[in-house]
Structure 1
Amino acid sequence: MSLKIAIQGVKGSNHHQVALDYFGEDIDLVECLSFDSLVDQLLNKTADKAVMAIENSIAGSIIPNYALVFKNDLAIIGEYYLSIHHNLIVYKGQGLENVEEVHSHPMALLQCKEFLKSYPKIKLVEAVDTAETAERIQKYQLKRIAAIAPKAAAELYGLDIIASEIQTISNNSTRFIIVKTKNPSDESADKELSKTGINKASLRFITDHKRGSLATVLNVMSDCKLNLTKIQSLPVIETPWKYAFFVDVTFTAYEDFSKAKSLLDIMTEEFKVLGEYKNAML
């Protein structure tokens, strides 16, 4: 039976490409037009696993997704880095002179800001997904609207690319995480790898308000030979002016990470492992 993989967006999107690259062709795609809907598909067992963008090398973190992972008790079981290539796509036979509006995901519009500045008369419209706009152009034969989308979307929906590689910075990549619901019988992050294959983890913790609390936690990580690759703070909604820290760490020996977990569980007010998986940057 094929795995049911939920993605944010539709066929031809970057999420779709990651699903194919990570899981292979033999999957059943569950298309979702929001990350909230994506999480619902997991919780309702409509999808087995999901692909979720978490940060971009240019635009930074997709902060609400950190909260979605934590609040819905999802397990991060893997990650994937995708090089992003944006193209201006139109209905067959149309040219740049025909374009009155450009529709795309807000992140894509931001990443193509310099190109779009050259066409101040074109209206920019935020959409739920890059490929969804391309699909809509083909379905309704829209001739005044262009999409910013991957090359795969143009090929899938039979559209023309009138400007290629329009992203401002050529070295543009997005990190995606692979998530699923946790198995209650597992002791931590619903591991799919043996401990020898795990060399990266995502954590969430809250420190007290004492001076140097965060520094002390970071020093413990260093002493346990963990390499901090990401730190992101988010407000704790229930407690004004209190913050939770989401961090990613890499390590060589799982034993070092296991020791760090024991210490951090004691030192912090709240501590949770969001996922243990293989570092995709290696």
Structure 2
Amino acid sequence: MPVIAIQGESGSFSHEAAMRLYADAQILPCAVSPAAFQAVVSGAADAAVLPIENSLAGSVLEHYDLLLEHPVTIEREMLLRIEHNLIALPGTKLEEIEQVLSHPVALAQCRQFFAAHPAVRATPSYDTAGSVKLVMAGGERSAAAIAPARAASEYGAEILARNIEDNAQNYTRFLVVKPEGSPRLADADKGSLAFTLPNRPGALVGALEVLAELGANLTRLESRPVLGQPWHYVFYTDYQFGNPAMADAVLSRLTAICPTVKELGRFPSATSLPSA
């Protein structure tokens, strides 16, 4: 039985993503993201399943930094449809609810619900599933949470309203992170790299031209500050490649022109958008 680390409480979207990838997994909830990475590095977990990007809220920037800092590799990615549900104590009626707890991102993605129920107060909390845990522990029928359906079954709560998110095209991209040196999947066709640039005009253009000249398809580019070096940046890029030789050439060519390059992983593209 694989041990899979997640950031957040049991019943979270990360938990749901992990179970879809590893149906027989033992889930290791971690309070903070660095703990999930450390669990992989130390061997306490076989892998971690972590969000990297939401189609509405954007990137999980901390996870880019942690991928760079730790000796890990990305083995695969998956897309999870995000469905927000109003969850409360069993037997609670919607008209009894005065306060709704959830992660700030989840609250922001359910504005239409709060507009339709102006008397209900949105209260930011540390986690979606953790909010259900707090509601159940508090025992107040005036409180509810916005969270995945899995959180209701995890904590013995009841779903009062399903799919209250504003936008149905709400997906989160999750990564499976394993120890550095783990075997790549045979059908890998996507790479992820982090690199810095020399301080000269056209340096970024030169790096991107490497991908273009080799026929690699750039799918994402993100910059992050270099810790301890104000106004210096590391660039994260995802790209699709036709064969392993192309990925090898991309890595080799960038290494020749960039001060630092780290390959974060090669993995199969998650091309489908499954319903939750």
Overall identity of the aligned pairs, in %: 35
**Is it true that 1:83 corresponds to 2:75 in the alignment?**
no
**Is it true that 1:265 corresponds to 2:255 in the alignment?**
yes
- 1:104 to partner: Cα distance: 1.1
- Which structure 1 residue ranges, 5 or more long, are not aligned? 184-189
**Aligned mate of 1:255, from 213, 220, 245:** 245
- Aligned AA for 2:14? H
- 1:141 to partner: Cα distance: 2.3
**Aligned mate of 1:192, from 179, 184, 188:** 184
Secondary structure of the 1:264 match is: helix
Cα distance between partner residues in 1 of 2:107 and 2:70: 29
Contact 1:33–1:128 under 8 Å retained in 2 = no
Cα distance between partner residues in 1 of 2:252 and 2:38: 32
Contact 1:34–1:128 under 8 Å retained in 2 = no
- The aligned residue for residue 203 of structure 2 is 213
Could you tell me the TM-score, scaled by structure 2's length? 0.92
> Cα RMSD over matched residues?
1.7
Equivalent residue runs for 1:27-176 within 5 Å: 27-176=25-174
- 1:271 to partner: Cα distance: 0.7
- 1:128 to partner: Cα distance: 2.5
After superposition, the C-alpha distances for 1:88-141 in whole angstroms (9 at most, x for unaligned) are 111112223322221112221122123223334433222222112223323442
Count of residues paired in the alignment: 272
- Aligned AA for 2:201? R
Cα distance between partner residues in 2 of 1:39 and 1:147: 28
- The aligned residue for residue 23 of structure 1 is 22
Cα distance between partner residues in 1 of 2:37 and 2:188: 24
Secondary structure of the 1:249 match is: strand
Contact 1:198–1:278 under 8 Å retained in 2 = yes
Cα distance between partner residues in 2 of 1:240 and 1:11: 38
Cα distance between partner residues in 1 of 2:154 and 2:228: 45
- 1:168 to partner: Cα distance: 1.2
Cα distance between partner residues in 1 of 2:216 and 2:35: 34
